[in-house]
Structure 1
């Protein structure tokens, strides 16, 4: 059965590849019918709460989260401990470790049981697009730092994070600003560009 008038709520989650561990916020626990702190979420428990018609789709999404990571979104139904069916949207992205390796996923649940389908789709598409755009700018900025300073990817990411913390500016904005400044103010010498052309075309 579906409970009419269920309030719209938002709660977060974390997934750690090490130990195949999940963490739920208090809100997400309540969405599934549990009092906060009374259950340890597992992949098996997550799947057990999915509506039978949505379980295969969610299992595929969970496999992706647990292996390759990346930005994702899923609209499906869950059945709580009292048998109440709720429609939820789950949005997330990869969780990075200290050396910029993917160590899991993080994101949030939205209880959209009484929300219009068009509004849900538009909101989710916007969030996922923003995640993808953020990653593209950050990866480009990392590449610039790696080339200029001859440092590995994890150190380049550390530089961006440090600058973000020092200036209290979001990481994506730091990357966007760097890309804009380089494009507008940094001229590549002809000799360097010629050498790059040769490497690109001939490889030595």
Structure 2
């Protein structure tokens, strides 16, 4: 089991409801992905909005993310990234980010590793949970309240991720492609349709089940593969 890096510099922050991002009401949960070797980040529109950006306005980088950390939390962020890269571990943290309008958000970040074709950890993926914009006259949520909200979002993330993995598997089998390429196709369709990735994947899974008839000879061949002894 991989090690988890924990960071908690902003646990004493006091928070209020998050203000609206540009152009609409705030989504308090958003996803991200990070590749260890290339250092490439991806974030959802919701995470971009937490930092004050519109969808597609800017590409996230380690330097950009660091610049949005509260000054008191940057040293912890630097240590977290260094540990994540050197040991290839995922992380959880609670810290503060400063959006483009200067508002300070208290956020919880939860992640897990995903594997490459070689079976090694290729990167980390997970979600941001925005606890709100800090306000000095409002009490912070209690630890129990934060844990409850995190647990709810972990469950939702698992359910959404299961659908995404199912859709990826369909593309991998159908086109004989690798997991990363299947994810790229789904992400492209998400951008093309201007819909959330999880919705695109759920629609694909439903449509395949409803419209695709598996030939009997293919099913019989799969039976043989399933029942054949697997190598250790």
Instruction: Provide TM-score, normalisation by structure 2.
Output: 0.52
- Label 1:92 to 1:168 Cα distance change in 2 as closer, same or farther (>3 A): same
2:8 is the alignment partner of 1:6: no
- Structure 1: how far apart are the matches of 2:189 and 2:38? 32
1:54 corresponds in structure 2 to: none
Return the alpha-carbon distance in structure 1 between the equivalents of residues 66 and 155 of structure 2.
24
In the other structure, the counterpart of 1:179 is: 205
CA contact (8 A) 1:94 1:105 kept: yes
Separation of aligned partners in 2, 1:169 and 1:146? 22
Partner SS state of residue 177, structure 2: coil
Selected match of 2:189 from 163, 179, 198: 163
Match of 1:43 among 79, 93, 115: 79
* Cα RMSD for the two superposed structures: 4.7
- Give the drift of 1:92: 2.6
Q: Is the 8 A contact 2:35 2:122 kept in 1?
A: no
TM-score w.r.t. length of structure 1: 0.58
- Deviation track 1:102-148 (CA, whole Å, cap 9, x = no partner) reads 44567547479621344222211122122222221111111101111
Q: Deviations over 1:12-61 (max 9, x none)?
A: 999774699674354x415x378xxxx794217x9xxxxxxxxxxxxxxx
The answer (yes or no) to whether the contact 1:73–1:89 under 8 Å persists in 2 is: no
Which is helix-richer, 1 or 2?
1
SS in 2 for 1:24: helix
Q: Which moved more, 1:109-118 or 1:119-128?
A: 109-118
| Of 77, 81, 88, the match for 1:67 | 88
Aligned twin of 1:29: 70
**Is 1:90 matched with 2:108?**
yes
Structure 1, unaligned runs of 5 or more: 47-61, 79-87
Poorly superposed stretches of 4+, deviation over 4 Å: 8-22, 62-66, 72-75, 104-113
Partner of 1:49: none
CA distance in 1, matches of 2:165, 2:178: 12
Larger RCO (alpha carbons 8 Å, 6+ apart): 2
Q: Secondary structure at the match of 1:42?
A: helix
Flag the 1:66–1:135 CA change in 2: closer, same or farther, 3 A.
Answer: farther
Distance of 2:38 and 2:189 partners within structure 1: 32
User: Which of 1 and 2 has greater Rg?
Assistant: 1
